[in-house]
Structure 1
């Protein structure tokens, strides 16, 4: 979605079905403290540091938000599959795990305003396939409308004609790659992004496409030194509104508090500062 946590889209249907029957009753709360669930294993969004403490972009942003609204936030690590049911059952009050805001999820849970909107891009090991991304180049905004997006897509189609592109299954990126390139390139679909990355490094595919924040963590590893970002960073409404905090629908008052804090953190540059630190790119929505 990873984006965006787009890799979770395929798993969401089963989780939503389970969550629907676990809704907690409405309760008035003063919200002096909340329990926030993060996976703790999705670097650099969130990760578990030596000693068990949670770190990364989201824990640091969360600490800032909670200070602004004067609420004590207790972070806990939770596997993704238990997050939505746990939220609905009252085990957690908030979820923060690079969760993309989608219409399907909004049927079950409520979202804050987005605190990030992550662009995606190609990666290659041979810049003859696509030129290396220019440092500081602006994000190209796509809408999902063919007429509006056509100039950018046509340019990429020419460069990727006859190439093999690797993409993870079950993501919005999968649909974009298939719709835009399947008639000019070979599309190879992988169960996981790491499996695809191995083939990219080995030369079995020519390019991959994924979230820029995923690549930020990927390329810090020695075995991936040959991988470089290539072509434009692609963002915009084509990927949806972005990533937000998740709440029970009845906790509108708590959501409103975090909306206010997120707006302030965006306005004063806090989100951009943390994004530059952890992602090396601006992900402000």
Structure 2
């Protein structure tokens, strides 16, 4: 969610595990245990028969076949994922996890394999001014003054409104910093819960990853929802989605990095991205 749910408590636990763990020798990897949420469509989802599918599981199938690794994918709640990784339950995390400086303190990341924008969605497309979607996209960085100027029209339009957002996402600090002084920000345990409250009229707009929103809006019960205002993207939301590893497992990370680079170079990531997202989200080289 572009991941998206509160993680710091788990990360602190993970730090404690790392601090007390002895240095390990390089491992001869023949199999890996991979954790995913299995419910963040279309990144990962659980089919009616129990099979885990989606963009990331299909990409993982390709990578593991090429590396001759046996890959065991299991469902794990996000809020315990980082702790489980650092405790040794899993070797790899695969859950639309965005690379951020804070997360780098407790885990290592592969090269990013996707980079996604975010947007507001509402019951009315004209809630916010300007071109909608990619046509009016704003690319933002960490400079507070530039960001404030870029979203000034959105800030004015959201005065007195209520914004819904999943708690602990990479987008939460942005919404708080730019709009909490004029709007009510209501946090939810999941993105899906925020959408339910939007439909119920308890919030005026929801801000989230466009890949998630595209999936939600494709469902018949949500055909009344509309994007409003521009897509927002750029370094302000981190360096893109990647796999997560224990910091000590540099050898495993290096193997996945090498195969991910090949998969991006030969068009595999583009093909899967267009299949699941209807757009190529491969990071610019």
RMSD: 2.7
Report the Cα offset of residue 102 of structure 1: 2.7
Aligned residues of 1:19 and 1:84 also touching (Cα < 8 A): no
Aligned residues of 1:24 and 1:90 also touching (Cα < 8 A): no
Distance (Å, rounded) in 1 between the aligned partners of 2:87 and 2:166: 32
Aligned with 2:135 (options 134, 137, 153): 137
| TM-score, structure 2 normalization | 0.86
Aligned residues of 1:23 and 1:89 also touching (Cα < 8 A): no
Report the Cα offset of residue 82 of structure 1: 4.3
Q: 5+ residue gaps in structure 2?
A: none
Select between 174-183 and 118-127 the one with higher mean Cα deviation: 174-183
What is the aligned residue count? Answer: 283
Q: Secondary structure at the match of 2:125?
A: coil
Report the Cα offset of residue 253 of structure 1: 1.5
CA deviation vs aligned residue, 1:93-124 (integer Å, no higher than 9, x gap): 22212222233332232211112222111001
Aligned residues of 2:98 and 2:170 also touching (Cα < 8 A): no
Aligned residues of 1:161 and 1:184 also touching (Cα < 8 A): yes
Find the counterpart in structure 2 of residue 178 from structure 1. Answer: 176
Distance (Å, rounded) in 1 between the aligned partners of 2:72 and 2:235: 33
Report the Cα offset of residue 194 of structure 1: 3.0
Report the Cα offset of residue 132 of structure 1: 9.2
Find the counterpart in structure 1 of residue 245 from structure 2. Answer: 247
Q: 5+ residue gaps in structure 1?
A: none
Aligned residues of 2:11 and 2:82 also touching (Cα < 8 A): no
Distance (Å, rounded) in 2 between the aligned partners of 1:72 and 1:218: 33
Report the Cα offset of residue 258 of structure 1: 0.8
| TM-score, structure 1 normalization | 0.86
Counting only pairs closer than 5 Å after superposition, residues 258-277 of structure 1 correspond to structure 2 as 258-277=256-275
Report the Cα offset of residue 284 of structure 1: 2.5
Distance (Å, rounded) in 2 between the aligned partners of 1:58 and 1:15: 26
Find the counterpart in structure 1 of residue 114 from structure 2. Answer: 116
Distance (Å, rounded) in 2 between the aligned partners of 1:138 and 1:65: 35
Distance (Å, rounded) in 1 between the aligned partners of 2:20 and 2:63: 28
Distance (Å, rounded) in 2 between the aligned partners of 1:277 and 1:138: 24
Distance (Å, rounded) in 2 between the aligned partners of 1:84 and 1:195: 23
Aligned residues of 1:132 and 1:228 also touching (Cα < 8 A): no
Higher strand share goes to which structure?
Answer: 2
Find the counterpart in structure 1 of residue 64 from structure 2. Answer: 66
